[in-house]
């Protein structure tokens, strides 16, 4: 017999009690095991916990390093713990989890105290540690914020697992990079940029303590919304730091008397319309190449080719001129009317106000330096510089004249401007001039610079469509072009991007360069994913490119583009206007030795713009508005003449070598394989001195084509 608590028990009874206690213990352990197993269902695995990577944003940079745009599901910039000020770490630990460095994910001492307070008072305080909060923030779907006992147990399980995998500093870094701090910001770096306009490592202690106070209720303690509450909450943070031994009372009082100055709007403006069409092209490329997950969650660093000041000049020039044209032409629907209707909830179903697009390229590298795809990205997402195909009209003629030069024509060749007809097999085509008149014989240079239709169309009778289509392919046109004679006058449809790319070949000595918007892409951790390498190919003979440049230089100084000078473009350049039937599309594309810019103006749905709405009237002023500034900034640049180009003085009436009797002459340039060798047989006299005076062309009247 044995005595237990002065009670005499039999050996059998003692054995029964011990077995019962063992059974209860085992049942309890089994209950705990199965309870933990039940509560752990759908919780992240250990492997998932070992590779926690909060979503980070993709940042798009301009060529000068300025931030263009940021894409994210959560506005967050990850920073390592050694970049986060120690006083911010101390402030957060003091106010959120004072025993953070002493517990193992669950603070039992604090938990028991909170339970007692909740049972004995009406207070309902929380007991979540920083580790538990980090777990809840990292896995919001698995650990929802509802105040349920099961959720709290699940949270404890994840917290303990995290403590077994990560160090305290690693957990604190996760927490500080994950927490929501209001105004769409996640993590202390994004919050520092948004609320104070600084990087987190540049914050003073008066700011970090205010930031720490915002964690509990970000909107309530936001310095933007309630600065007085933010100060009171900061005082609470400072008091906890004193109690935790992080600050002396005197230090806390000094900090508490220091003002902070929130910088409203310093965070990224993701709704900004600046360079919106350019950024959208970049975004679509990134999503296509790397997927939405990497773009919006994993984060990329993307350096682009866009030059912000060029973009500003382009947007300003386009909008200023189109507003002036809308006013002058008294259109019923203007952008201003459209915006006013939208503001009162009566947005029109279609985009009926005048549109425009512009594109700027570095001719040597193919970098797209500026892009305007329309007047308002919010109104219309369709990019009219890269996606919209329009009839090019006379902007296509340089390809025709390039083909002519390759088939033995010369700048001084005499073409005849007269009525004629072509049987296309389907109908009879009678090309007409813009002026409605025919001028008779003229040089090839004159016909191109004045954009005369009839002599251009007649070239079809000489060499046909095949070589023209081949040149279009060589110069980079990928749009399907119609196999009809009217292609010589710009039938079919092309994009502004194609036109600018083709003209850039003329400017770049016949070398075609792959157009691009992105120079470098890195992952969030700095791995280089892409780095652009300039891709070039020889498209034209340099002499052919130079001669076409020289011909289009005449267009700019004497022909349909001659108003460029008094509109503000005063440097050396070349270009061509374009206007389609009924003035539905107006174009201008021009270049310097360094830059090529193109402009298109018209309505979204092809409609006449009205009387006189030509390329020189509607598009050229926009081009001069930005290219004039760009060229002035760059300085005077000559077009470099390649070896072999010949000069001869020619008679403008016959196209032959001029004599002393010729009264209309010009020093003309020729390809080394094609130049006149016959002396003018009409005017008589001796062979003209090569250095004779070039008296140029006669003055145009107002009926000249496209002017």
Q: Which of 310, 273, 330, 320 is nearest to 622 (CA)?
A: 320
| Residues paired with 518 in a beta bridge | 304
- Tokens 């120079």 appear where? 519
| pLDDT, the chain, mean | 85
Distance CA 496, CA 158 (A): 56
Mean pLDDT of 608-630: 96
**Look-up: residue for tokens 């005849």?**
416
Place 298 in a pLDDT band, splitting at 50, 70 and 90.
confident
Whole-number Å distance between alpha carbons of 62 and 58:
13
Dump pLDDT digits (tens) for 643-681: 989 999 999 999 999 998 898 999 999 988 888 989 998
Question: What confidence score (pLDDT) does residue 595 get?
Answer: 98
Residue 551 token pair? 């011909």
| Out of 217-231, 393-407, 685-699, least confident range | 685-699
Which of 81-95, 342-356, 503-517 has the largest mean confidence? 503-517
CB 405 within 8 A of CB 544: yes
Cβ atoms < 10 Å from Cβ of 300: 22
The pLDDT value given to residue 100: 81
- Rounded to an integer, the average pLDDT of 434-461 is 93
Cα separation of 707 and 450, whole Å? 8
What does the pLDDT read at residue 426? 82
pLDDT of residue 693: 36
Higher-confidence residue of 597 and 23: namely 597
3-class SS string, 106-130: CCHHHHHHHHHHHHHCCCCCCCCCH
Looking only at the bridges linking them, the beta strands covering 518-523 and 300-304 are antiparallel
Would the pLDDT of 636 be above 80? yes
Q: CA 77 to CA 84: how far, in whole Å?
A: 12
Q: What is the pLDDT of residues 393-426, one digit of tens each?
A: 999 999 999 999 999 999 999 999 999 998 877 8
Structure token pair of residue 220: 């309530």
Rounded average pLDDT over 298-311: 94
- Give 329's pLDDT tier (boundaries 50, 70, 90): very high
Give the C-alpha separation, 306 to 61, whole Å.
8
Burial of 119 (0-12, 13-18, 19+ CB in 10 A): exposed
**Bridge partner list, 600:** 357, 587
Least confident segment among 70-84, 194-208, 217-231, 639-653: 70-84
The pTM score is: 0.76
Rg (CA), the chain: 38
315-325 mean pLDDT: 97
Element spanning 1, H or E: none
How do strand 574-579 and strand 536-538 relate by DSSP bridges?
A: unpaired
- Pair of tokens at residue 571: 């440097």
Rounded to an integer, the average pLDDT of 93-108 is 77
**367: which DSSP letter?**
B
Poorest-confidence range of 79-93, 351-365, 561-575?
Answer: 79-93
Crossing angle between the packed helical segments 205-213 and 249-256, to the nearest 10 degrees: 90
Neighbours of 138 (CB within 10 A): 20
Residue 117 has pLDDT above 70, yes or no: no
Candidates 461, 460, 405; CA nearest to 469 is 460
Q: How confident is the model at residue 432 (pLDDT cuts 50, 70, 90)?
A: confident
Place of tokens 């303590």: 209
Residue where the block lists tokens 């006299």:
685
Residue 522 main-chain phi, psi, to 5 deg: -125, 150
| Bigger pLDDT: 172 vs 374 | 374
Task: Say what the pLDDT of residue 704 is.
Answer: 41
Q: Which of 299, 306, 312, 301 has its CA nearest to residue 273? A: 312
The mean pLDDT value for 1-23 works out to: 61
Q: Rounded to the nearest 5 degrees, what angle is found at the Cα of 229, between the Cα atoms of 181 and 100?
A: 50
Would you state the pLDDT for residue 2? 46
Are the C-beta atoms of 595 and 634 separated by less than 8 Å?
Answer: yes
- Res 703 pLDDT > 60: no
E strands in 326-366: 355-362
- Whether 454 contacts 437, CB under 8 Å: no
* Rounded distance between C-alpha atoms, residue 60 and residue 282, angstroms: 8
Token pair of 256, please?
A: 């508490």
- Asked whether the beta carbons of 384 and 354 are under 8 A apart, the reply is no
Mark 102-114 as b/e (b = at least 16 C-beta within 10 Å). Answer: ebebbbeebbeeb
Using CB atoms within 10 Å of the CB of residue 465, give its burial: 0 to 12 exposed, 13 to 18 middle, 19+ buried: middle
């Amino acid at each position: 017999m044995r005595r237990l608590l002065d009670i005499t028990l039999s050996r059998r009874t003692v054995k029964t009690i011990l077995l019962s206690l063992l059974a209860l213990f085992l049942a309890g352990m089994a209950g705990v095991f199965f309870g933990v197993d039940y509560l752990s269902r759908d919780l992240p695995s250990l492997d998932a916990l070992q590779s926690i990577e909060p979503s980070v944003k993709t940042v798009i940079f301009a060529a000068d390093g300025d931030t263009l745009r940021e894409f994210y599901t959560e506005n967050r910039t990850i920073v390592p713990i050694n970049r986060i000020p120690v006083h911010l770490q101390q402030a957060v630990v003091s106010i959120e989890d004072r025993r953070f460095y002493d517990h193992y994910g669950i603070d039992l001492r604090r938990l028991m105290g909170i339970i007692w307070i909740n049972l004995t008072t009406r207070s309902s305080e929380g007991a979540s540690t920083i580790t538990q909060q980090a777990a809840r923030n990292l896995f919001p779907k698995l650990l929802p914020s509802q105040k349920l006992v099961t959720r709290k147990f699940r949270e404890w399980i994840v917290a303990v697992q995290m403590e077994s995998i990560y160090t305290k500093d690693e957990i604190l870094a996760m927490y500080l990079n994950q927490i929501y701090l209001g105004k769409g910001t996640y993590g202390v770096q994004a919050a520092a940029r948004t609320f104070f306009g600084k990087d987190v490592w540049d914050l003073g202690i008066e700011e970090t303590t205010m930031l720490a106070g915002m964690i509990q209720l970000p909107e309530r303690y936001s310095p933007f919304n309630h600065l007085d509450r933010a100060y009171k909450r900061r005082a609470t943070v400072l008091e906890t730091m004193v109690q935790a031994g992080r600050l002396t009372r005197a230090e806390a009082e000094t900090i508490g008397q220091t003002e902070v100055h929130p910088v409203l709007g310093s965070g990224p403006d993701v709704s900004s319309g600046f360079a919106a069409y350019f950024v959208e092209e970049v975004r679509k490329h990134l999503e296509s190449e790397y997927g939405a997950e990497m773009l919006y969650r994993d984060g990329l660093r993307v350096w682009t080719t866009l030059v912000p000041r060029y973009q500003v000049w382009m947007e300003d020039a386009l909008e200023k001129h189109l507003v002036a044209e809308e006013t002058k032409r008294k259109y019923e629907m203007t952008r201003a009317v459209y915006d006013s209707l939208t503001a009162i909830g009566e947005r029109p179903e279609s985009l009926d106000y005048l549109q425009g697009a512009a594109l700027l390229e570095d001719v040597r590298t193919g970098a797209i330096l500026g892009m305007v795809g329309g007047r308002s990205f919010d109104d219309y997402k369709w990019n009219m510089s890269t996606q919209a195909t329009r009839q090019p009209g006379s902007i296509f003629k340089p390809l025709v004249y390039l083909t002519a030069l390759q088939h033995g024509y010369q700048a001084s060749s005499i073409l005849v401007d007269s009525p004629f007809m072509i049987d296309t097999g389907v109908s009879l085509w009678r090309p007409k001039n813009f002026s409605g008149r025919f001028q008779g014989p003229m040089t090839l240079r004159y016909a191109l610079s004045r954009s005369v239709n009839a002599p251009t169309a007649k070239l079809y009778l000489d060499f046909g469509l095949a070589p023209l289509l081949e040149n279009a392919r060589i110069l980079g046109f990928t749009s399907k072009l119609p196999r009809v004679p009217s292609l010589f006058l710009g039938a079919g449809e092309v994009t502004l991007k194609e036109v600018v790319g083709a003209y850039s070949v003329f400017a770049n000595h016949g070398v075609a360069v792959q157009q691009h918007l992105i120079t470098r892409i890195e992952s969030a951790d700095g791995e280089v994913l892409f780095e652009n390498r300039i891709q070039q190919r020889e498209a034209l003979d340099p002499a052919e490119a130079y001669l076409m440049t020289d011909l289009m230089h005449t267009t700019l100084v004497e022909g349909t583009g001659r108003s460029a000078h008094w509109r503000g473009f005063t440097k050396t350049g070349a270009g061509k206007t374009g206007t389609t039937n009924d003035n539905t599309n107006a174009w201008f594309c021009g270049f310097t030795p360094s830059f090529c810019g193109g402009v298109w103006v018209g309505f979204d749905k092809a409609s006449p713009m009205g009387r006189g709405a030509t390329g020189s009237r509607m598009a050229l002023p926009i081009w001069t508005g930005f290219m004039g500034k760009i060229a002035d900034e760059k300085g005077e640049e000559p077009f470099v003449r390649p070896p072999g180009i010949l000069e001869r003085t020619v008679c403008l009436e016959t196209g032959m070598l001029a004599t002393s009797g010729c009264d209309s002459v010009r020093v003309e340039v020729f390809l080394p394989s094609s130049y006149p060798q016959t002396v003018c047989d009409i005017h008589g006299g001796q062979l003209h001195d090569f250095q004779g005076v070039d008296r140029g062309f006669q003055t145009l009247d107002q009926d000249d084509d496209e002017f």
